[in-house]
Amino acid sequence: MGSYAALLLIPTAASVLLLLSASPAHIHTWVFGLQMCWQTLCHLGLGSLALESGDARPAVALSAIMMLTQKATSLALDIHEGTVLPQAGQGLLQQDLPLCSYLLYFPALLGGPLQPFSSFRVQVESLGAVPLPLEAAGWRCLGALALQGLRVGLEGCLPRVQGCSVLATLCHMWMRALLFRLAYYTQWVLDEALLKVAGFGPEEGQGDLSGRELWVLETTHRLAVFTRTWNRSTSRWLRRLVFQRCPARPLLATFAFSAWWHGLRPGHIFGFLCWAVMVEADYRIHPFLSAWATSRFAKLLYRGTTWVFTQLLVAYILDAVEAESFSALCLLWTSYKSILPLSYGVVLLLLLFKKAKQN
């Protein structure tokens, strides 16, 4: 990484200094402010370079800084809530080393999933005593290979579905989103395989992707369920950091912070705020529809139709988030792909108006 490594070492040193010196009552605020200010500066400085340059190091550095923010704020919350206590009677180096090791161990900086400090400490202390789960890592690598093979096959089919009709355009958008999702799935599986080989595998149910999560993501007819299952360690971190601590509009605040954490590009702002509105609509629309679907045929129609809607909404949101320029985002806004999100927004407004009128 060369000089880009300094972008990680500087905030790590500052965070460790705060973790050791600040009072537990205010430690979370200080660490959160430091990390997010540094990360925002890095996004502003390296964002265009990561998109335009052929050098992969700016993108890797930004990704690692985002993971560092997750770990530093998670540890600060642990200390703030009293689940991690400073070790009394230890020297400065003995206190520094576990914190620096947790913040900088490279397998997690390459992509996660986020691991609690207490779990990391237990695994470090047991290294050598417990055999490395190489078989589990091997199966994950085979799974990643299968996902990559599926992605390559779909990539070859993508030009064939291009067309001028509405159906062809929607199919093309859905296939592009599926390619994005397969790329994320492959990366998460490889991240967990690397952690397994290094001896830091996530505990059961704490990883980002398993066969069960993959099945839920691709078969659920609820956008809210997809949202909770997508990138699970980050979802848990956002819930703990923002959703549970926000007194008003926690859902909107969580998605707005997620856009900030991802870099605040126009696509991020629009995509995540659209996602928040769609999830809010999902919470209100589905109880209404499920109450209407009483017969077996109606239930099958309800689940099938809402699954298609969920897939198209996810595709639209991913299209927005992955838009690399404002002009590409404007093309998405003005296309008829926006009809479904707009209709969800209108239905949400009608349901909110109906509830206010009943009250």
Domain extent listing, the chain: 2-104, 220-359
| Mean pLDDT, rounded, for 77-94 | 75
CB atoms within 10 A of CB 291: 8
Q: How far apart are the C-alpha atoms of 216 and 161, rounded to whole Å?
A: 26
Q: What is the CA radius of gyration of the chain?
A: 22
300: its two tokens: 């099958």
* Cα–Cα distance measured from residue 278 to residue 97, given in angstroms and rounded to the nearest whole number: 44
* Of 12-16, 37-41, 48-52, the least confident: 48-52
Residue pair 9/17 in contact by the 8 Å Cβ criterion:
no
| Residues 105-128, mean pLDDT to the nearest whole number | 82
State the Cα–Cα distance between residues 37 and 29, nearest whole angstrom.
12
Q: Which residues lie below 8 Å from residue 61, measured CB to CB, with a gap of 6+?
A: 1, 4, 7, 8, 42, 46
Least confidently predicted of 60-64, 160-164, 179-183:
160-164
pLDDT digits (tens, 9 = 90+) for 289-305: 887 877 888 888 989 98
Q: pLDDT-based confidence at 167, cuts 50/70/90?
A: confident
Residues 6 or more apart whose CB falls under 8 angstroms from that of 289 comprise 302, 306
- Residue 46's pLDDT is 83
Q: Which of 36-50, 200-214, 248-262 has the lowest mean pLDDT?
A: 200-214
- Name the residues annotated as catalytic: 231, 262
Cβ(125)–Cβ(97) below 8 Å: no
Q: What's the CA gap between 137 and 178, in Å, rounded?
A: 25
What is the rounded distance in angstroms from the CA atom of residue 294 to the CA atom of residue 285?
Answer: 16
Q: Given pLDDT bands bounded at 50, 70 and 90, which one contains residue 358?
A: low
Task: Report how far apart the first and last C-alpha atoms of the chain are (Å, whole number).
Answer: 59
Q: What is the pLDDT of residue 163?
A: 62
Res. 326: pLDDT tops 80: yes
More confident residue, 28 or 52: 28
Q: What is the pLDDT of residue 136?
A: 78
From the list 234, 309, 235, 317, the residue with the least C-alpha distance to 275 is 317
In percent, the amount of the chain with pLDDT more than 70 equals: 91
Alpha helices in 25-133 (DSSP H): 27-52, 57-81, 92-104, 106-109, 117-126
